């Protein structure tokens, strides 16, 4: 049997508004004065002055509102995680069929249980050294692979991919996982361990840096990232990790353990990747500075060589005095030898009578030895002179080498100039004119790039290689019909030289 009243019952039906307001009056009469103790969350200070919040404990939650006139009279300022005792009345919001408490007064009841638990866990991990600055790993300057751990359906992953694509062309590996709820901590820990387990050189590239990202939310939404096992997993990893959980004002336990904390997911993408355009500009600047430095060094050495060459005497000047002295000495030597021979011949004649053959032989041997010694000295002098000449002859050879290096440099510059001239000729917009094409310019001087740019009856200018011609666009497309032209006068036919041809039959 159905419990519904028959359709012909005399009980009038309630409207939705009548039932909603009837429940509202019942709750306000029954719970007109209520004191509640709980932890604040989802505190929102509206622009109109009202404060909307949620009171909760470990099992239940109730929405609350503080009207603008009662905000200044509160004993504490409503903040996330604050445990308070509030006084007010229970009412409903008929438009949404929800009940809430209208708060008249509020006083602090101590630090929230969740935040107190978080502080104890934070102190424990800090004592173990997990937050120490010296264990933070530096981020790679130019990563080839970036690993991202986040939800694949949110806006966070799109922001990260868009930012990395604009800054640095690299491969991005996304490990999808939930980032809210009881299963979030376990999935994020598994993703971190999975990325760290990838071996270099395998079929899947190993990331150079990891990003754990999530959008903003309440303390409860971000509570999965305060898990102790997740924090220890981050500390045990070998790949540098950037934490980008929540917004700049949100702080979780993973922020203290990670190697770098980013205020937003977009900022994490900027921390992980450099700007390719800036690196190219820096390399170009280094190249220009290196070329300038090399050119300046070569020019300085060339100037010093030229200056040194100007200070040195010419080889001919160095050899002229020695050559002159050698010529004088050689000329005097012949005459001296002849005079010496004549003098000794006279002396020999004087003492011939007193000399015996043995004495004469001894005297001749002494003279011959002296003459041989003098000859050796002359040969030594003659040999030393070419060595000095060869020593000074190195300067022209060095000058020839420098001249050849300069000629090679000029040839390379000439080749580069010739290549640039070929490139300029290939990019010349009027080069197709040599092949019979024409440039079509509209009345304002701009080029017509398509048929849609021209209208029927519009005047255009056709530029050929040999000159310009004006024209008018006729029709909407296709070829214009040829204009009638006067038929040329018939030329007189020459008489055939042979016999007349036989006239054909028309039928």
Tell me the angle at which helices 184-197 and 228-236 cross, rounded to the nearest 10 degrees: 10
- 285 and 269 within one domain: no
Contact 179, 150 (CB under 8 A): yes
Coil, helix or strand for 312?
Answer: coil
CA-closest candidate to residue 457, choices 472, 442, 478, 467? 472
CATH number, residue 84: 2.40.50.140
> Cα torsion at 492, 497, 500, 502 (round to 10°)?
-100
User: Do 225 and 285 sit in the same domain of this protein?
Assistant: no
Which of 341, 361, 392 marks a domain boundary? 392
Please state, in angstroms and as integers, the Cα–Cα distance from residue 336 to each residue in 33, 207, 365, following that order: 148, 97, 20
Is 49 inside a domain boundary?
yes
d(CA 431, CA 436) in angstroms, rounded, equals 10
Tell me: do 265 and 330 sit in the same domain.
Answer: no
- Show Cβ contacts of residue 434 under 8 Å, excluding neighbours closer than 6 positions: 465
Quick one: how many helices (H) and strands (E) in the chain?
A: 12, 13
CB distance 81 to 41 below 8 Å: yes
Residue 181 falls in which region: left (phi positive, over 0), alpha (psi -120 to 50) or beta: left
User: How many domains does the chain contain in total?
Assistant: 5
Range of the domain at 43: 16-111
pLDDT band at 446 (very low <50, low <70, confident <90, very high): confident
User: 26 Cβ partners below 8 Å, 6+ apart?
Assistant: none
Displacement of CA 480 from its chain's centroid (Å): 55
First-to-final CA distance of the chain: 108
52: left (phi over 0), alpha (psi -120 to 50) or beta: beta
- Of all residues in the chain, the percent with pLDDT exceeding 70 is 84
Residue after which a domain boundary falls, among 111, 129, 163: 111
The residue count for the chain: 507
Asked whether residue 182 is assigned to any structural domain, the reply reads yes
Based on the fold, state whether residues 335 and 349 are members of the same structural domain: yes
- What stretch of H or E contains 56? strand 51-56
| Same structural domain, 327 and 450 | no
Residue 21 maps to a domain: yes
Judged against a pLDDT cut of 70, whether residue 132 lies above it is answered with: yes
* Res 9: pLDDT: 57
Q: Which pLDDT band, with edges at 50, 70 and 90, does 270 fall under?
A: very high
Least confident span in 62-66, 93-97, 182-186: 93-97
Name the residue with higher pLDDT: 100 or 445: 100
Alpha helices, DSSP H only, in 77-154? 113-127
| Whether residue 220 is found in the same domain as residue 326 | no
Whether residue 158 sits in one domain with residue 263: yes
Beta strands in 265-345 (DSSP E): none
Give CA–CA dist 88/106, Å, rounded. 9
Cα gap 69→336, rounded to integer Å? 137
Give the whole-angstrom CA distance, residue 311 versus residue 380: 31
503 confidence band (pLDDT: 50, 70, 90): very low
363 in any annotated domain: yes
Contact call for residues 268 and 279 (beta carbons, < 8 A): no
Write the DSSP assignment of 148-210 as a string of letters.
EEE-TTSHHHHHHHHHHHHH---EEEEEE---SSTTHHHHHHHHHHHHHHPPTTSSSPPPSEE
Q: Give pLDDT, residue 475.
A: 64
Nearest in space to 92 (alpha carbons), one of 160, 19, 24: 24
Question: Is 358 inside any structural domain?
Answer: yes
* DSSP secondary structure code for residue 444 in this structure: T
Are 141 and 35 in the same domain? no
Please report whether residue 397 resides in a domain. Answer: no
The reply to whether 170 falls in a domain is yes
Residue 494 resides in a domain: no
Helices in 393-485 by DSSP H: which ranges? 394-426
What's the CA gap between 406 and 209, in Å, rounded?
51
166 and 226 both lie in a single domain: yes
> What pLDDT is attached to residue 299?
93
* 240 pLDDT higher than 80: yes
Where do the H-state alpha helices sit in 237-275? 253-257, 265-272
Query: Can you tell me the mean pLDDT for 154-180?
Result: 92
- Which of these three, 341, 360, 392, is where a domain ends? 392
> Cα 55 from chain centroid?
50
290 and 212 together in one domain: no
User: Are 175 and 260 members of one domain?
Assistant: yes
Average pLDDT of span 484-491: 48
Q: 303 and 337, same structural domain?
A: no
Q: Among 6-15, 61-70, 311-320, 329-338, name the one with the lowest average pLDDT.
A: 6-15
């Amino acid at each position: 049997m159905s419990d519904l009243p028959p359709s012909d019952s005399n009980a009038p039906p309630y409207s939705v508004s009548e039932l909603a307001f009837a429940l509202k009056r019942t709750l306000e009469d029954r719970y007109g004065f209520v004191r509640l103790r709980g932890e604040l969350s989802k505190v929102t200070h509206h622009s109109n002055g009202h404060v909307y919040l949620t009171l909760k404990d470990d099992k239940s939650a109730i929405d609350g509102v503080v009207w603008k006139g009662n905000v200044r009279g509160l004993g504490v300022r409503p903040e996330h995680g604050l445990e308070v005792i509030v006084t007010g009345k229970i009412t409903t919001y008929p438009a949404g069929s929800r009940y809430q408490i209208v708060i008249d007064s509020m006083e602090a009841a101590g630090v929230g249980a969740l935040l107190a638990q978080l502080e104890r866990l934070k102190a424990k991990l800090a004592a173990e050294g997990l937050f120490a600055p010296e264990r933070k790993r530096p981020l790679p300057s130019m990563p080839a692979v970036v690993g991202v751990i986040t939800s694949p359906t949110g806006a966070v992953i799109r922001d990260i991919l868009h930012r990395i694509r604009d800054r640095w062309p690299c491969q991005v590996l996304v490990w999808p996982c939930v980032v809210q709820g009881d299963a979030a901590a376990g999935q994020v820990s598994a993703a971190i361990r999975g990325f760290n387990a990838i071996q270099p050189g395998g079929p899947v590239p190993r990331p150079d840096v990891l990003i754990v990202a999530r959008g903003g939310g309440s303390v409860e939404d971000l509570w999965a990232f305060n898990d102790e096992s997740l924090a220890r997993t981050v500390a045990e990893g070998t790949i540098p990790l950037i934490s980008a959980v929540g917004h700049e004002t949100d702080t979780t336990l993973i922020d203290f353990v990670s190697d770098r904390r980013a205020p937003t997911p977009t900022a994490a993408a900027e921390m992980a990747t450099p700007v390719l355009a800036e690196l190219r500009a820096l390399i170009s600047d280094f190249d220009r500075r290196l070329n300038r430095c090399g050119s300046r060094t070569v020019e300085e050495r060339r100037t010093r060589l030229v200056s040194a060459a100007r200070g040195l005497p010419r080889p001919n000047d160095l050899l002229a005095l020695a050559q002159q002295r050698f010529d004088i000495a050689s000329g005097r030597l012949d005459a001296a030898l002849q005079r010496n021979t004549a003098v000794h011949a006279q002396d020999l004649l004087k003492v011939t009578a007193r000399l015996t053959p043995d004495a004469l032989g001894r005297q001749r041997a002494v003279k011959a030895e002296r003459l041989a010694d003098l000859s050796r000295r002359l040969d030594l002098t003659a040999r030393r002179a070419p060595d000095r000449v060869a020593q000074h002859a190195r300067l022209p050879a060095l000058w020839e080498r420098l001249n050849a290096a300069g000629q090679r440099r000029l040839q390379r510059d000439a080749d580069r100039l010739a290549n640039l001239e070929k490139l300029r000729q290939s990019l010349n917009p009027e080069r197709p004119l040599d092949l019979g094409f024409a440039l079509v310019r509209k009345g304002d001087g701009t080029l017509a790039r398509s048929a849609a740019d021209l209208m029927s009856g519009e005047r255009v200018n056709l530029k050929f290689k040999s000159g310009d011609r004006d024209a008018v666009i006729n029709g909407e497309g296709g070829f214009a019909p040829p204009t009638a032209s006067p038929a040329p006068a018939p030329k007189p036919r020459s008489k055939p030289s042979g016999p007349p041809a036989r006239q054909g039959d028309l039928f």
